[in-house]
């Protein structure tokens, strides 16, 4: 049984390598006031990931929004062991650049394919921050995907 | 990144170890951004070295030291060793913090937390950092000049700094401002550069936007519409003033990530539509009419169900002296309903003025509390047992319900004060 593997290439934001299960959202994420840094859970009222934790996931998202406390909130997740394993995102800004640096999680942006389209929640994702490479192994069974969504 | 001689010297340790680690962090950050160089800054607004009890205890446990310099080193500068932290090398101010210096017990803070707050403040003062303790530094002693390169935190202050004043700052974070305090450097990226300050999206306003409420709602709408792009607004806006810009920008920075906006004929880099947009065409033109206005009001009120209000919070962003006067006028000779709380948040500077003008006394005589330094969202503090809050700030309405697990109503300052006097929400969109 061979799994489908897709390779995306972009640029380093933070170096290092990590891998894990993807958590994908098409909505930007607020740091301060948008997540609970004690558990890594999204708490923003109208957010599609409300109540979902990114702890130990590879977080795939458009980018950061909201308060200047973004870096502080994600920095705190490193202290509480609730940080994402890696970050893959589309739009660079100061919040996410600083946040990714102090979270010390490998991070990549400016990819040659849209990670929000290619990667689905539950896919296995390897991030090589230094080379700017993201390797995606698709989940194999639609049944398993349904199970994880329930 | 290309470094100048003085930057290279700092990185080589010529300014001492803390400056070296600050420079290292700024280089990591600049490279993450894709910046090519730094710009000099002598106007920093952050929260250098200040911490919660959680951080203090965390480092006591994990590093054997939870003192000011330990937290500045390990957390603010993201270093792996504790260093001596020198005086600030820049003009730097401290933004809002976690508690009121007098009414901390009302906020539910412990004696231990208050003592830690006092110790931090003494350390901040000893380093020559101005203790403004507000989200509105431009109302309390730090007003940049047009074109000045700043390194500011606090999204509502950043958008005001760029849009209304025409000074230049990105939305910096705790760690970058703490590093800039010691180095006077920040990445030359984004809003420091002319080409990144021009409008990207056009907003056409077709419904009169006059009141503070309406300016706040328009800002909240625009944040969702443009996310972190730069809106250029034309149409039926009027009565531009400091309070309206303060509420507009804070709202747009919360629902989206707006760090700069242009209002044609009003803001300093938008004398004309052409000047605001530069050579590019708008990526989208978005109308704001009666239907959009109604929808954004309903969205802001979507977490309000129970009309029985037990807490009214005003002062997000921190109230100006004009707003303190307005609150005092609405409360004069009246009493807040038993069981209902009214807390009004401002800076120590503005409270000093409100004390002299009798506004603080008028608010207190009615049963309200005037607090400084913080707000309910920052301190995560609401009166005990609060279930339903009334707010006149779209920004606070965006954050507080999720953070404090409460229902919230959004309306005018007058709607909110009426709710405090009667215990009932009667606000409606007029």
By Cβ distance, the residue of A33, A92, A101 closest to B399 is A33
> In the structure, what pLDDT confidence band is assigned to residue B141 with cuts at 50, 70 and 90?
very high
B341/B385 same-domain check: yes
Helices B17-33/A94-103 angle, 10° precision: 120
Domain boundary (B299, B315, B347) is at: B299
Pairing label, strands B388-391, A58-61 = unpaired
The domain total for chain B is 3
Residues of A in contact with B252 (CB under 8 A): none
Q: What is the mean pLDDT of residues B374-397?
A: 96
Q: Cβ contact (<8 Å) for A66 and B175?
A: no
Domain boundary (B245, B273, B299) is at: B299
Q: Note whether residue B262 is domain-resident.
A: yes
pLDDT at B260 over 50: yes
By Cβ distance, the residue of B158, B175, B257 closest to A65 is B257
pLDDT at B404 over 90: yes
Tell me the per-residue pLDDT of B217-229, one tens digit each, with 9 for 90 and over: 999 999 999 998 9
What is the C-alpha to C-alpha distance for residues B339 and B420, in angstroms, rounded to an integer? Answer: 9
At A150 the pLDDT is: 43
Q: Cβ contact (<8 Å) for A98 and B227?
A: no
Strand ranges (E), B240-306: 262-263, 284-288
What is the C-alpha to C-alpha distance for residues A94 and B190, in angstroms, rounded to an integer? Answer: 8
Q: Note whether residue B10 is domain-resident.
A: yes
Q: Cβ contact (<8 Å) for A94 and B170?
A: yes
B320/B172 same-domain check: no
Tell me the per-residue pLDDT of B33-79, one tens digit each, with 9 for 90 and over: 999 999 999 999 999 999 999 999 999 999 999 999 999 999 999 99
Share of chain A above pLDDT 70, in %: 91
Query: Across the strands, what pairs with B149?
Result: B168
Q: Note whether residue B427 is domain-resident.
A: no
State how far the alpha carbon of B278 is from the alpha carbons of A131, B201, B254, B273, in Å.
36, 12, 26, 8
Residues of A in contact with B256 (CB under 8 A): 65
B260/B404 same-domain check: no
Q: Which two tokens stand for residue A133?
A: 């490479």
Residues 6+ apart with CB under 8 A from B67: none
Residue whose C-alpha is closest to residue B96's, from B326, B354, B349? B349
Q: Which two tokens stand for residue B283?
A: 């990526």
By Cβ distance, the residue of A63, A69, A92 closest to B34 is A92
By Cβ distance, the residue of B256, B303, B401 closest to A65 is B256
> In the structure, what pLDDT confidence band is assigned to residue A4 with cuts at 50, 70 and 90?
confident
In A, minimum Cα distance to B397 occurs at A45
Domains of chain A: residue spans and CATH: 5-149 (3.50.30.10)
Diameter of chain B measured on Cα atoms: 65
- In whole angstroms, what separates CA A144 from the centre of its chain? 21
Do B187 and B254 form a contact (C-beta atoms < 8 A)? no
Do B234 and B204 form a contact (C-beta atoms < 8 A)? yes
By Cβ distance, the residue of B28, B58, B377 closest to A101 is B28
- Which of the following is catalytic: A67, A71, A82, A150? A67
Residues of B in contact with A33 (CB under 8 A): 377, 398-399, 402-403
B219/B242 same-domain check: yes
Q: Cβ contact (<8 Å) for A45 and B58?
A: no
Chain A residues at the B interface, defined by Cβ less than 8 Å, are: 11, 13-14, 28, 33, 43-45, 63-72, 75, 79, 91-95, 97-102, 104, 107
Residue whose C-alpha is closest to residue A83's, from A145, A11, A18, A134? A18
pLDDT at A126 over 70: yes
Q: Number of helices and strands (H, E) in chain A?
A: 4, 12
Tell me the per-residue pLDDT of B201-216, one tens digit each, with 9 for 90 and over: 999 999 999 999 999 9
Looking at residue B410, which CATH number applies to its domain? 3.30.499.10
Q: What is the mean pLDDT of residues A77-97?
A: 97
- Work out the angle at residue A35's Cα, subtended by the Cα atoms of residues A33 and A39, and round it to the nearest 5 degrees: 135
At A141 the pLDDT is: 60
Pairing label, strands A17-24, A124-128 = antiparallel
Q: Is A67 a catalytic residue?
A: yes
B414/B355 same-domain check: yes
Q: Cβ contact (<8 Å) for B173 and A68?
A: yes
State how far the alpha carbon of A70 is from the alpha carbons of A28, A38, A109, B75, in Å.
12, 14, 18, 14
Q: Which two tokens stand for residue B179?
A: 């590093």
B178/B208 same-domain check: no
Residue whose C-alpha is closest to residue B201's, from B222, B183, B218, B176? B222
By Cβ distance, the residue of B190, B228, B403 closest to A65 is B228
What is the C-alpha to C-alpha distance for residues B40 and B381, in angstroms, rounded to an integer? Answer: 38
pLDDT at B105 over 60: yes
Residues of B in contact with A26 (CB under 8 A): none
Query: In A101-134, which positions are buried (b, 16+ CB within 10 angstroms) versus exposed (e)?
Result: bbbebbbbbebeeebbebbebbbbbbbbbeebbb
pLDDT at A146 over 80: no
Chain B residues at the A interface, defined by Cβ less than 8 Å, are: 25, 28-29, 32-34, 55, 58, 75, 78, 152-155, 158, 170-176, 187, 189-190, 227-228, 253-254, 256-257, 303, 377, 398-399, 401-403
B58/B181 same-domain check: yes
At A67 the pLDDT is: 87
Do B85 and B76 form a contact (C-beta atoms < 8 A)? no
At B297 the pLDDT is: 98
B253/B339 same-domain check: no
pLDDT at B360 over 50: yes
Q: Which two tokens stand for residue A125?
A: 């994702």
State how far the alpha carbon of B87 is from the alpha carbons of A71, A108, B127, B237, in Å.
24, 36, 4, 45
User: At A134, phi and psi to the nearest 5?
Assistant: -120, 125
At B23 the pLDDT is: 98
Q: Cβ contact (<8 Å) for A43 and B402?
A: yes
At A143 the pLDDT is: 56
- Residue B367 sits in which domain range? 303-422
Share of chain A above pLDDT 90, in %: 84
Do B124 and B131 form a contact (C-beta atoms < 8 A)? yes
What is the C-alpha to C-alpha distance for residues B70 and B51, in angstroms, rounded to an integer? Answer: 11
How many of the other CB atoms lie within 10 Å of CB of B198? Answer: 18
Q: Cβ contact (<8 Å) for B171 and A95?
A: yes
Tell me the per-residue pLDDT of B163-188, one tens digit each, with 9 for 90 and over: 999 999 999 999 999 999 999 999 99
Q: Note whether residue B346 is domain-resident.
A: yes
The pLDDT mean for chain A works out to 92
Q: What is the mean pLDDT of residues B301-307?
A: 96
Residue whose C-alpha is closest to residue B421's, from B366, B343, B361? B366
B143/B269 same-domain check: no
Instruction: Tell me the nearest-neighbour CA distance from B322 into chain A, angstroms.
Output: 26
Instruction: Tell me the nearest-neighbour CA distance from B334 into chain A, angstroms.
Output: 35
> In the structure, what pLDDT confidence band is assigned to residue B402 with cuts at 50, 70 and 90?
confident
What is the C-alpha to C-alpha distance for residues B360 and B41, in angstroms, rounded to an integer? Answer: 37
Q: Number of helices and strands (H, E) in chain B?
A: 17, 15
> In the structure, what pLDDT confidence band is assigned to residue A45 with cuts at 50, 70 and 90?
confident
Q: Note whether residue B429 is domain-resident.
A: no
Q: Is B80 exposed, middle or buried (0-12, 13-18, 19+ CB in 10 A)?
A: exposed
State how far the alpha carbon of B173 is from the alpha carbons of B14, B87, B350, in Å.
25, 20, 25
The tokens 């309390």 sit on which residue? B140
Q: Cβ contact (<8 Å) for A68 and B28?
A: no
What is the C-alpha to C-alpha distance for residues B258 and B201, in angstroms, rounded to an integer? Answer: 11
> In the structure, what pLDDT confidence band is assigned to residue A33 with cuts at 50, 70 and 90?
confident
Looking at residue B113, which CATH number applies to its domain? 3.30.499
pLDDT at A145 over 70: no
Q: Cβ contact (<8 Å) for A68 and B256?
A: no
B248/B260 same-domain check: yes
Residues of B in contact with A39 (CB under 8 A): none
Count of A-B CB contacts under 8 Å: 101
Tell me the per-residue pLDDT of B325-343, one tens digit each, with 9 for 90 and over: 999 999 999 999 999 999 9
The pLDDT mean for chain B works out to 97
What is the C-alpha to C-alpha distance for residues B227 and A66, in angstroms, rounded to an integer? Answer: 9
Q: Note whether residue B428 is domain-resident.
A: no
Q: Cβ contact (<8 Å) for B176 and A71?
A: yes
Q: Cβ contact (<8 Å) for A68 and B34?
A: no
By Cβ distance, the residue of B158, B175, B190 closest to A71 is B175
Compare A147 and A91 and report the one with higher pLDDT.
A91
What is the C-alpha to C-alpha distance for residues A82 and B330, in angstroms, rounded to an integer? Answer: 46
B80/B139 same-domain check: yes
In B, minimum Cα distance to A110 occurs at B34
Domain boundary (B299, B325, B340) is at: B299
Residues of B in contact with A42 (CB under 8 A): none
Q: Which two tokens stand for residue B14?
A: 């010529």
Residue whose C-alpha is closest to residue B103's, from B375, B329, B392, B312? B375
B272/B190 same-domain check: no
Tell me the per-residue pLDDT of A47-70, one tens digit each, with 9 for 90 and over: 999 999 999 999 999 999 888 999
Query: In B15-35, which positions are buried (b, 16+ CB within 10 angstroms) versus exposed (e)?
Result: bebbbbbbbbbbbbbbbbbbb
């Amino acid at each position: 049984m061979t799994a489908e593997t897709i390779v995306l290439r972009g640029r380093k934001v933070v170096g290092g390598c990590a891998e894990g299960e993807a958590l994908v959202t098409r909505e930007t994420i607020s740091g301060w006031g948008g997540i609970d840094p004690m558990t890594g859970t999204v708490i923003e009222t109208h957010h599609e990931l409300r109540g979902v934790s990114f702890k130990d996931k590879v977080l795939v998202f458009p980018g950061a929004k909201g308060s200047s406390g973004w870096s502080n909130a994600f920095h705190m997740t490193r202290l509480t062991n609730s940080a994402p394993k890696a970050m893959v995102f589309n739009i660079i800004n100061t919040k996410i650049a600083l946040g990714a640096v102090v979270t010390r999680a490998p991070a990549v942006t400016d990819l040659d394919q849209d990670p929000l389209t290619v990667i689905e929640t539950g896919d296995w994702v390897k991030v090589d921050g230094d080379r700017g490479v993201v390797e995606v192994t698709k989940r194999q069974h639609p049944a398993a995907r349904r199970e994880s969504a329930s | 990144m290309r470094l100048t001689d003085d930057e290279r010297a700092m990185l080589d340790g010529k300014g001492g170890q803390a400056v070296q680690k600050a420079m290292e962090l700024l280089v990591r950050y600049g490279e993450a951004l894709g910046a090519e160089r730094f710009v000099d800054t002598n106007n920093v607004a952050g929260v250098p070295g200040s911490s919660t009890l959680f951080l203090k205890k965390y480092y006591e446990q994990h590093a054997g030291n939870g003192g000011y310099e330990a937290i500045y080193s390990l957390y603010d500068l993201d270093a792996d060793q504790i260093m001596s932290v020198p005086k600030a090398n820049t003009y730097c101010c401290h933004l809002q913090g976690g508690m009121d210096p007098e009414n901390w017990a009302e906020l539910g803070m412990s004696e231990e937390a208050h003592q830690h707050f006092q110790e931090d403040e003494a350390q901040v003062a000893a380093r020559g950092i101005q203790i403004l303790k507000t989200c509105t530094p431009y109302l309390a002693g730090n007003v940049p000049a047009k074109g000045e390169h700043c390194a500011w935190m606090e999204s509502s202050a950043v958008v005001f700094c760029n849009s209304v004043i025409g000074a230049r700052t990105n939305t910096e974070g705790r760690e970058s401002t703490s590093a800039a305090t010691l180095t006077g450097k920040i990445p030359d990226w984004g809003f420091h550069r002319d080409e990144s300050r021009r409008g990207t999206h056009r907003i056409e306003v077709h419904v009169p936007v006059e009141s503070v409420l309406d300016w706040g709602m328009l800002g909240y709408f625009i944040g969702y519409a443009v996310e972190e792009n730069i809106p250029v607004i034309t149409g039926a806006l009027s009565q531009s003033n400091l309070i309206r810009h303060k509420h507009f920008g804070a709202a747009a920075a919360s629902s989206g990530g707006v760090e700069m906006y242009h209002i044609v004929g009003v803001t300093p880099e938008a004398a004309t539509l052409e000047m605001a947009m530069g050579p590019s065409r708008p990526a989208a033109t978005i109308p704001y009419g009666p239907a959009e206005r109604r929808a954004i009001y309903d969205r802001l009120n979507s977490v309000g169900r129970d009309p029985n209000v037990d807490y009214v919070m005003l002062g997000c962003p921190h109230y100006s002296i004009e707003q303190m006067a307005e609150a005092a006028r609405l409360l004069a000779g009246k009493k807040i309903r038993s069981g209902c709380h009214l807390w009004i948040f401002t800076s120590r500077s503005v409270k000093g003025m409100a004390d002299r003008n009798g506004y603080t006394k008028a608010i207190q005589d009615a049963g309200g509390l005037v607090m400084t330094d913080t707000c309910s969202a920052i301190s995560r503090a609401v009166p005990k047992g609060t279930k339903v809050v009334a707010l006149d700030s779209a920004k606070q309405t965006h954050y507080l319900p999720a953070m404090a697990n409460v229902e919230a109503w959004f309306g005018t300052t007058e709607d909110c004060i009426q709710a405090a006097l009667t215990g009932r929400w009667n606000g409606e969109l007029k």
